[in-house]
A and B are shown apart, each in its own frame.
Chain A
Amino acid sequence: MSDNSLNWNDWLGKHGPQLLLFARTQTRCEADAEDLLQEAVVESSGKSEGNPPDLPLVYTTLRRRAIDLARKTDRRTAREEVTTERSEDCWFDDTIEQKETAWLIDRAIKNMPEKFREVVMLKIWSELTFAQIAQTLDIPLNTAASRYRYGLEILKRDANLKES
């Protein structure tokens, strides 16, 4: 196996779950999320000459492709409205002792309006900066920060998280 393939295995193992999580928030079904993730990773790797790309680039590509997909299939409105119709699969690792918390967060995240959810996802689990989030979602930096704050409040309320 070449060094490049080892890099890719490590990179996908490390960032794949976070990318898939974001892809899931941008699509309606698991199959679309997986296809979208594959296309975005392949496109981004092409721009990085076959090497593992910068994460913000992959997130931006993922989002752009999700919008294209939604436009193509004329489902954008539906995509934004059916947050409660999403699959019953838990998006988080529920095999550990925090199973109950994982399920609570999963339910709260899925019921949260998309504009808050995507910012929370990118900040908490993808660990992007507000500047990178603003660039990825094509919104002003202050908007990203305020959406994040509202998102946290919704999560605290709906997932019964501890008060600081």
Chain B
Amino acid sequence: MNNEPEFDPTQEEELRQVKPAQMDETLLERINHAVKNSSPAPQASTWRSRRWLWLVPFTAAAAIVLALTLSPQKTDNQPDEIAAKSSNKPTKEEPIELFPISRKNQVVEAINEGIIHIEGRQPYRSVRMQVVDSYQWAQPNGVTRVQYQVPREERFLVPATIY
């Protein structure tokens, strides 16, 4: 209970007497499961893993010193070789040409939302469809492939007959 001002104590008390409906056991279990699966590692193990972080700069420095010590002496013709190699590279990137290879619409879920009534019209059954549209493009040689997925939801009103 809080110390907020009450506008109508009797009414507020009467409303509080009526409790919200209890949660379904299945939902309770589902949320419990989802929370446990998404929980990060406990604090202690995070600390344990972090206490080795101070080693990182020392290891990096040691690796650089080792690399400089063990690397072969630079020869005079090396710059020319590097220049020759780099001149073989294209100066600007070539555009990649992609072609569509597949297109798919997959129905993930169809939810029956029941009968709805619209004034002056016949009853309808409302069905909510969750669909994932997938598109794929690829280079002819198959090196580059682009996949694009868009989820969408549609609601269909199907005319219904009630007996």
Contacts and interface: CB of A to CB of B under 8 A. Distances in A.
A and B bound?
Answer: yes
B39 to A, nearest CB: 4
Interface of B: 1-2, 4, 7-12, 14-23, 27-28, 30-32, 34-36, 38-40, 42-43, 111, 113, 116, 153
B23 A102 contact: no
B153 A72 contact: yes
B14 A38 contact: no
B147 to A, nearest CB: 21
Given A17-B19, A50-B39, A124-B12, A5 B32 contact: yes
Contacts of B28: 12-13, 16
A59 interface: no
21 contacts: A8-B36, A17-B19, A34-B27, A37-B27, A38-B31, A41-B31, A41-B35, A42-B38, A45-B38, A50-B40, A50-B42, A92-B18, A92-B20, A92-B21, A93-B18, A128-B2, A129-B4, A152-B7, A162-B14, A163-B10, A164-B11
Interface size range on A against B: 35 or more
Contacts of A13: 28
Contact of B19 (A92, A155, A156): A92
A143 interface: no
A149 to B, nearest CB: 5
Contacts of A162: 10-11, 14
B78 to A, nearest CB: 52
Contacts of A4: 39
Contacts of A149: 7
B22 A42 contact: no
Nearest to B41: A50
Contacts of A161: 11, 14-15
Given A20-B23, A92-B18, A161-B15, A9 B4 contact: no
Contacts of B40: 46, 49-50
A130 B3 CA distance: 11
A12 B43 CA distance: 22
Interface in A1-29: 4-5, 8-9, 12-13, 16-18, 20-21, 29
